Structure 1
Amino acid sequence: MHSAQSDRSGRFWVLVAVVFAFAAGAFAEHQGFLSFAMEHPRDIFRLLGQHLQLVLTSSAIAIAVGVPLGTLLTRGFMRRYRDWILNLLGICQTVPSLAVIAIAMVYMGIGKQTAIFALVIYSLLPIIRNTVAGLASIDPVVLDAGRGMGMTPWQVLLRVEYPNALYIILTGIRTSTVINVGTAALSFLVGGGGLGDLIFTGIAMVDPAYMLAGAVPTAALAIALNWVFGQLEKRIISPGLVYEHHTTAA
């Protein structure tokens, strides 16, 4: 019975997806997007490559900075300042992304480096917050078991804490990266390139084809990266840990 219901539900959502794709395609053709894309494929792929480079570079730096910072906030005397620092970062996150890019431009000028710096700053909070939440959610009994086996603090962190907190940490990285895809469109305003070139040119010219030529690949890139992280989670995280976290959240 359950299998039959799942099959019907699956067919229903496939039908919804097909109808939505057909409607989206009809709308895109009506706005001239498909014709524009066929006439300028090299320009779109060039800007898509720039956009992807911005996202991957800034996300990699944010991960390299955010995970150690989140870990540091769960160690020793830094625990006393954890809430204060997270609240401060939360306030910084409320600043519009355009304002962050503008402030960075004042001190760093225009160019790709300015865009990457602003994207890193805007991407840090979800990674730091989820790293702290993941490490703080580990059962103390599990940590005691690791110490009882003679592990050093570094071994406990790498072999016990990180593997058990990985699901929550990856969720923060996934959220940060997907948000980064949309924010990176603003990089065009400081000479960083990317699909924002088409989006803002289309807005200036009131040309839907230009806007869709930038917006559609941006949305597709966000969906693709979200899917990639979903597959990564399934492959490297134990199903038992995922179930445990979902049960705790419920």
Structure 2
Amino acid sequence: MAEDILYHGEPNGPSLSVLAALAESGLDIECRHIDLLKGARHTLHDAQETLASDMAVEGEGPILLKDGETMSEAVFLAQYFDEAAGSCGLQPKDAYLHWEMMMWCRQVNERLSPAVAYLGNLACSQAPIAALAEEEFAAITRSIFSDDLRQRWQDLRDDVVDAARREDSEAKVRQFVQRVEDKLADGRVWLMGDFSIADLETFAWLRPMTELEADAFTSAPLCRSWMDRLEQRPCVQSALAKAVTENPKRAFAPGPEINRWG
């Protein structure tokens, strides 16, 4: 049987949450760093069944290659790690709390992550994508199956900036910081009471905003303390140790898909 391999970018956004979930699970899976801004996600060696990665709404997120199948989407991968480890505690056992966690993660994926990605890519990846030679950029975009994702690469290269979308993205970051603040107001330590995927997924997307949208956190002391706790958690430290750049908070690649429902 082929060895499982986790291909990931810098520990930011979905790569951070997946690397931390893997570390929390204790599973022995090889991790390989790839350059997402070079399109490496779309040309993986031995990838035969690629539907899950080709059509991932997450955009340029990490991929678990298992027996030729590409498994994608950070929340699904974290669930897989938890269950493959025989339940390492990343998912609540109570049915209602599990539902609540999944609803929270869906809102992260549909509202927070597109907003963070839009702001982060404008600030951090637009210039390097624009600097690519025409032949290199064409080779990257030819390898991308999704029309939507290919267009997001093209928009960044062409300096397409939607002022209304930028404003909306900034508002959604502020709203989600406040949502975390409100969730923690009853004195709980973690978002679902016990530590879970919801903590990792939310933290991974909010972390880069502490630099790019610092004002959003000014009036959110509970959220800031929660982020400090996560920063020091061993699984997060393990994930951050896999960085190959000086500041992974500024490592972005096109994606995820902008939520069509607002």
| Normalised TM-score (structure 2) | 0.31
Q: Which has the higher strand share?
A: 2
Q: Which has the higher helix share?
A: 1
| Normalised TM-score (structure 1) | 0.32
